[in-house]
Amino acid sequence: MAITASLVKELRERTGAGMMECKKALVETDGDVEAAIEAMRKSGQAKAAKKAGRTAAEGVIVISFSDDNSSAVMVEVNCETDFVGKDENFTSFADAVAERALSSGAEGVAALMERSLHEGEETTVEQAREALVSKLGENMNVRRFARLQSSKGSLVSYRHGVRIGVVVELEGGDEALGKDLAMHIAATNPVCLDADSMPQEMLAKEREIVTAQAQESGKPDNIVEKMVEGRMRKYLAENTLLGQAFVKDPDQSVEKLLKSRGASIIQYQRLEVGEGIEKKQENFRDEVMAQAKL
């Protein structure tokens, strides 16, 4: 596979490593960026994987609550540009989709798209989307939604601008605490609630990486083992919600904050516009050169 400048650029942005190191890693992994990051972390070349994934799509996250506050839905609706993302027609459509996702009980986006956009009307969500595409001249879609039903706590939400949405079910505490926790989740994007819910494949992969890093030190096996365990504890603390330092008071963890308030988190959901969506990166220099040759 040809190692393009755009691949090298992406790897540099995500690792902070030098150009030649990035190119070499890509050659060795046949252009696989994720494999290159893993290899560079093992060898200690990568300073950090700065981005978990490219986040390029535009659009909004909308949150809608039932009248009794017992259920909530977060919906991601995408468009191509930030300009359209702010258009009143687009935002009105997104608001209506969130309301319909909440009231219809649709299981999945495909089912939602077949429902009427407004109850009692014939126009479906899909038909309304197609009409809006024609009107605004951009492709757009309802990408996903998450529904939360409270079980024994209260639902609290936070939306950072229009791009990040969080809903938390909190047992005990109060609404202010719930809002603070939702803001924390928006800022830190934890992988999961606690160590017990951490995906085993992620733990195994991280252990493999930190073991390779520790072995590079040349220290005895017993010291390497202690280094690995210490780094794994740090990894869990940084990536689980309960283990993280609370953003408004870094001297205490979220877990300690909850205990001090007699509260617990039952569940939470976080959505961010464009998570995991790859957007074609244009090379501006090549584009200008191509235009000059016309």
> Consecutive sets of 10 residues in the chain, 294 residues long: mean pLDDT of each?
83 72 88 85 53 55 94 94 90 96 91 91 90 82 93 93 95 94 95 93 91 87 89 93 95 96 96 77 48 46
**How many residues appear in the chain?**
294
pLDDT at position 75 is: 97
- Domain 1-53 and domain 58-188, same fold? Reply is no
Instruction: Tell me how crowded residue 273 is: count the other CB atoms within 10 A of its CB.
Output: 23
Residues 6+ apart with CB under 8 A from 249: 257
Structural domain spans, the chain: 1-53, 58-188
pLDDT at position 115 is: 93
Residue 30 CA to residue 24 CA, distance in Å, equals 10
Q: The tokens of 12 are what?
A: 């540099």
Residue 73 CA to residue 269 CA, distance in Å, equals 10
Name the residue among 273, 41, 272, 271 with its Cα closest to residue 147: 271
Residue 75 CA to residue 117 CA, distance in Å, equals 14
Orientation angle between helical segments 125-136 and 88-104, nearest 10 degrees: 170
CB-CB contact of 7 with 31 (8 Å):
yes
CB-CB contact of 156 with 269 (8 Å):
no
pLDDT at position 57 is: 73
DSSP code of residue 44: T
CB-CB contact of 73 with 98 (8 Å):
yes
Backbone angles phi, psi at 21, to 5 degrees: -60, -40
Q: Please name the fold of domain 1-53.
A: Helicase, Ruva Protein; domain 3 (1.10.8)
Homologous superfamily (CATH) for 58-188: Elongation factor Ts, dimerisation domain (3.30.479.20)
Name the residue among 59, 63, 81, 54 with its Cα closest to residue 141: 59
CB-CB contact of 129 with 93 (8 Å):
yes
